[in-house]
Chains A and B, each alone.
Chain A
Amino acid sequence: MCLAIPAKVVSITGDTAEVEVDGMVTTADLSVLQNVAVGDYVMVHAGLAIQKYDEAEALANLELIRELFRIVADHG
């Protein structure tokens, strides 16, 4: 039940955003996040954006997994 998925912010009106996941557009509440801009990715759960999700962090996370176990990255 605690699934949250990265959704792309398409437009913002006040504390509410239109977000897109796999081509489907829904509404997300941005009230517990700061400095969200159109084009950003946010993790949405039950209609609330609970965290930002950015490309640089994702890459760093992947590096953490690979580095930690000395896996030579073969792509990416």
Chain B
Amino acid sequence: MDSAAFNDPSAARALIDKIAGLAARLPEVRLMEVCGTHTMEIGRLGIRQLLPGNVRLISGPGCPVCVTPAAYIDAAVELALSREVRMATFGDLFRVPGNRRSFAQAKAAGADIEVVTSPRAALDGARKSPRQVVFTAVGFETTTPATAAVVKAAAKEGLRNLSFFVAHRLVPPAIDALMADPSIRIGGFLLPGHVSAIIGADAYGTLVGRGVPGVVTGFEALDILAGICSLLDLLVAKEVAVKNNYPRVVSARGNPAALRLMEEVYEPEDAVWRGIGMIPRSGLRLRKEFAAYDASVRFGLKPDGVEVPRGCSCGSVLKGVIPPEECLLFGEACTPENPVGPCMVSSEGSCAAAFRYGGRP
């Protein structure tokens, strides 16, 4: 089925009307989308501007490269600049600055950095070249099984010149941490469709425990409008539940084989989110059996220290405390051409989306 059916304008109109009807029965509500791909689509479709005045859509920490610590990027960039290795990285991370340089700037300075679309490409590269290849394993649960599969494949064939610099992050602990913060008043969550394809719609139990509804949502226009509509419906009915509105891709229990693979290769650890700080058991590290493939062990990388550029409010933006436009740097000192913070540099960052598509009506 092509995506046109999920973008049908007449159905979208009906959903917008239904949203207006439900919103009229509610006080001001703040809904958070926790996925950078949602943030981009909401911006591109102009959905924020279509919503009734009392329904606010807040962008959460759902852009994995935005929350990757600056210190991690600094350590990776420094290693790349040492000319010891070839660094293989996703395009998403390529332009994101650390405290000093981005991969893009390091490459311009002569570092050997290759942009790949899959960790498999890093594996293929290592097979063909005698060079040490380091893959930057970043991303949420959507991406983690793909890197886990390649860690396992490298270990199985005993490949000596590939290692992984791991900064994977987990979505449910971050949502839980947001809910525990009294400065963040979120009435409901649009839950990420493709993270949920792996972890399942049942993985958000703590949300219900905290009395907040969530709706697992796809990425087409009707998916997003239906997600908002369902959340308002739950709020009007005062029902606290997690609904799955994306059953064509997401099941209740996700993909068990992918979850087993993640579990086999990685284990949870406390981890820093750029702009937010440490969130307990929200990151992953390689298990002992795979320590030989850990780039931080092989090259003695120690990414520590959290720094935020002066004046940058990415931390508050990522938590939904302020919209991008309320940052003093937004659109002036900080633009997509000359980004200061991670939310502006990544195309999926809240600030980049707000700059490109406009934010609040």
Collect the chain B residues with CB atoms within 8 Å of residue A27's CB: 120
Known: A1-B143, A4-B197, A66-B11. A47 touches B18 (CB 8 A): no
For B10, the chain A residues whose CB sits under 8 A away are 71, 74
Note all chain B residues with C-beta closer than 8 A to A4.
Answer: 142, 194, 197, 249
Residues in A whose Cβ lies below 8 Å from that of B197:
4, 43, 50-51
- Once the chains are docked, how many angstroms separate the CA of A53 from the CA of B218? 13
A36 CB → nearest B CB, Å: 12
- Interface residue ranges of A48-71 to B (CB < 8 Å): 48, 50-51, 53-55, 57-62, 64-66, 68-69, 71
Query: How many angstroms from the CA of A69 to the CA of B247 in the assembled complex?
Result: 17
Given that A3-B194, A64-B245 are known contacts, is A29 also in contact with B146, CB under 8 Å in the complex?
yes
Q: How many residues of B contact A (CB 8 A)?
A: 56
Which residue, of A33, A47, A66, has the highest number of chain B Cβ atoms within 10 A?
A47
Partner of B229, one of A47, A48, A61, A69: A69
Residues of B within 8 A of A62 (CB): 1, 5-6, 222
Q: Is B275 an interface residue (CB 8 A)?
A: no
Q: How far is the CA of A65 from the CA of B120 in the complex (A)?
A: 36
Nearest CB in chain A: distance from B217 CB, A:
11
B255 touching A45, Cβ below 8 Å: no
B48-91 interface mask toward A, CB cutoff 8 Å, 1 = contact, 0 = none? 00000000000000111100000000000000000000000010
**Bound complex: CA A13 to CA B143 (Å):** 23
Taking a contact as CB atoms under 8 Å apart, the answer to whether B118 and A48 are in contact is yes
Q: How many residues of A contact B (CB 8 A)?
A: 36
Measured CB to CB, the closest approach of chain A to B42, in angstroms, equals 14
Q: Assess the B5–A45 pair: CB atoms within 8 A.
A: no
What is the distance, in angstroms, from B33's C-beta to the closest C-beta of chain A? 12
> B247 contacts A2, CB within 8 Å?
no
The proximity string for A residues 10-47 relative to B, scoring 1 for CB distances below 8 Å and 0 otherwise, is: 00000000000000000101011110000000010111
Partner pick for A48 among B145, B192, B223, B249, CB 8 A cutoff: B145
In angstroms, Cα B63 to Cα A34, docked, is 30
Contact code string B298-325 (vs A, CB < 8 Å = 1, else 0):
0000000000000000000000000000
| Interface contacts beyond A1-B36, A3-B219, A61-B245: sample of 11 additional A-B pairs, CB < 8 Å, sorted by A | A2-B142, A4-B197, A32-B145, A32-B149, A32-B255, A46-B143, A48-B146, A50-B142, A51-B197, A55-B1, A65-B226
Chain A interface residues (CB < 8 Å from chain B)? 1-4, 27, 29, 31-34, 43, 45-48, 50-51, 53-55, 57-62, 64-66, 68-69, 71, 73-76
